[in-house]
Structure 1
Amino acid sequence: MASTSFKISVGMPVYNGERYLESAIKATLQQTYSNFELIISDNASTDKTEVICRDFAASDPRIKYIRNSVNIGAAGNYNQLFHLAGGEYFRWFNADDLCSEHLHERCLKVLESRPDAVMCYGKTDIIDGEGRLLQHYDDNLDLQHDDVVTRFKTYFEVVGLTNAIYGLMRHSALKHTALMGNGSFHAADTNLMGELTLYGKIVEIPETLFFRRMHEDASSWDRKNTSVQQTFWTGQNKKFVLPTLKKHLAYIKAIQKSPNGFMGKLQMDLYILRRVVWHRQLIGAEISQFLKTRGEQQT
């Protein structure tokens, strides 16, 4: 693990991000709370990403640049950044997004005064490739219920985009989660957020602190294209196998691993099993495809 002299660690995953990378790095360096490290993990980019990162790293000792020799996928790259982080608090920050200069200061103030909270984030604005406002997005993830079962169930009722992971999270809670998983299913960030509710409360600051850029060049832009998602999460066009079932099993594993009591775990397990029933047609289709593929391989 890196040095713990920094209060906050910012992990920036990047792949061919030359278009917006400089702006994202500057948005981090301009934070009013400056006791942080910025760790950039370059997923074997083929554009000018490496040059840009090395120039910034040479000019600011808070910046650490790591270049992967091959593309290890978003799951591996995000996870690697967390394992390299030494701060008491952690946040991911994509190389094409922007944030308010007050994000660290505002979120840290909440987490330092709220030991029952594991995450704090500000409101989100969605911007386009040119930085123009597209939408004031309501994350709806201000989950401050004292009861963990209520908090966990409510999360599934309100979650949309998981912009909150670009706020600030408590390292001590995050280390107990599966992070971004192992690349065996897409949208692992939704699993991560669900896991975090098992360890504490999520607090929203009623101030826009994050600007998420939606543009065609983003690696995960086409969410309905399975091939694109597989490449994004795995680093190669490796097919997901039973992803919906694995996603739900990951929730059950997280529940059992959490520090909650038997009855609470039971209630949450039953809730996930109900969700499996709700998704039975999709899971059934995935099982049929799996059996078909196995049959073709054996002939």
Structure 2
Amino acid sequence: MSMSTVPRVSIGLPVYNGENFLAQALDALLGQSFTDLELIISDNASTDATAEICRRYAAQDERIRYVRQPRNLGGARNQAIVGEMARGELFKLAAHDDLYGRDLIARCVEVLDAHPDVVLCHADMAFIDASGEIIGRYDYTMATDSPSAPERFRSLLRTDGGDDEYGVIRTEVLRRVRAVDSYHNPGRPYVAEIALHGRFEQVPELLYFRRDHPDRGDRSPTISALCARMDPRRASHSNVRLLGEYVLGYFRAVHRAPLSTADRVACYRHLVGWLASRAANRSWRVARGGGRLAWRVPTPEVDVALPERPLP
């Protein structure tokens, strides 16, 4: 694909010091059965072999657009950059340490083409360890497929888990929502705002593999340290501020969304009720996706078909 050809799907891969798993992720993404795509890699001034790996792959596949940042901008800004660079009608965010079934993008595009009211599509997810072995499977129970915007919003507030930000989203919707922020648990208000623009669909096939390992970027012993990874300036911010901005993120999402007056009021009511319950329980969990991811050990019949594209 030449740079003058606009791809159907843009994949954005922000990365920082990802040498351990980056090549495997690139193989999985470039080996997709859906080929009308571009892969945008933003290297956040990595200090390991990330740049070397990216340049090697870019030299062999013209669908790759590789940029290297002159300094560490933080994870939030680096993620926003790949979205801003996207040219495709559809966009998928990817992580350098996850793996992707060969038909993941194809299945998601099929759903989006068949259902114009769906703004985001993802597939069933399993957890893998550092060696790529499945260690658990995630049960998606959120009502993000509801035709009701307040119900989708309520479900995202009340139900743990989900990696919806890594689904395939309509780029026009991506551009209408606020980019992911750097306060506590920023992905949750971000996904909630997307859900206020339309419903999600989940492909009932095991095609997304989230890698669980000690160096994963969303792991940290404290809220402030985790937020500092998203934006180095956050290191000096108090937990009160980081949690307060998290809550404010939901209010801003509802305020910006294209909702009727009745739906907007219903969302605010859900939000106030959720806040009251959290205050009563004094529970503010630090975890990606809004809380603990509920998972179960996969049954023996689970068939995982990962790409077998050789390393360059």
Q: 1:135, 1:240 → 2: CA distance?
A: 35
2:179 equivalent to 1:176: no
How far off its partner does 1:236 sit? 5.5
The number of residues matched between the two structures is 278
2:202 equivalent to 1:201: no
Q: Which residue of 2 aligns with 1:113?
A: 114
Kept in 2: contact 1:220–1:228 (CA 8 A): no
Ranges in structure 1 where 5+ consecutive residues have no aligned partner: 284-299
Q: Higher relative CO (CA 8 A, sep ≥ 6), structure 1 or 2? A: 2
Kept in 1: contact 2:157–2:274 (CA 8 A): no
- Residues 82-97 of structure 1 correspond to what in structure 2 (within 5 A)? 82-97=83-98
Q: Which residue of 2 aligns with 1:263?
A: 262
> Which amino acid in the other structure matches residue 188 of structure 2?
T
Partner of 1:121: helix, strand, or coil?
strand
CA offset digits 1:65-89 (Å, max 9, x no partner)? 1111111111111111101111111
2:229 equivalent to 1:232: yes
> Which amino acid in the other structure matches residue 164 of structure 1?
D
- Identity of aligned pairs, percent? 31
- Residues 157 and 275 of structure 1, relative CA distance in 2, 3 Å threshold: closer
> Which amino acid in the other structure matches residue 168 of structure 2?
L
How far off its partner does 1:277 sit? 3.0
How far off its partner does 1:159 sit? 3.3
Kept in 1: contact 2:224–2:237 (CA 8 A): no
- Residues 5-20 of structure 1 correspond to what in structure 2 (within 5 A)? 5-20=6-21
Q: 1:226, 1:258 → 2: CA distance?
A: 28
Kept in 1: contact 2:158–2:274 (CA 8 A): no
Q: Which sits farther off after the overlay, 131-140 or 41-50?
A: 131-140
How far off its partner does 1:109 sit? 0.3
Kept in 2: contact 1:13–1:77 (CA 8 A): yes
Kept in 1: contact 2:189–2:253 (CA 8 A): no
Q: 1:173, 1:213 → 2: CA distance?
A: 27
Partner of 2:235: helix, strand, or coil?
coil
> Which amino acid in the other structure matches residue 32 of structure 1?
S
Q: Which residue of 2 aligns with 1:131?
A: 132
How far off its partner does 1:249 sit? 1.4
Q: Which residue of 2 aligns with 1:192?
A: 190
> Which amino acid in the other structure matches residue 198 of structure 2?
G
- Residues 119-158 of structure 1 correspond to what in structure 2 (within 5 A)? 119-141=120-142, 143-158=144-159
CA offset digits 1:119-169 (Å, max 9, x no partner)? 111100100111111101113245221121112112222231x32222211
Give me the TM-score of the superposition, normalised by structure 2: 0.84
Q: Which residue of 2 aligns with 1:274?
A: 273
Partner of 1:175: helix, strand, or coil?
helix
> Which amino acid in the other structure matches residue 226 of structure 1?
I
Kept in 2: contact 1:142–1:204 (CA 8 A): no
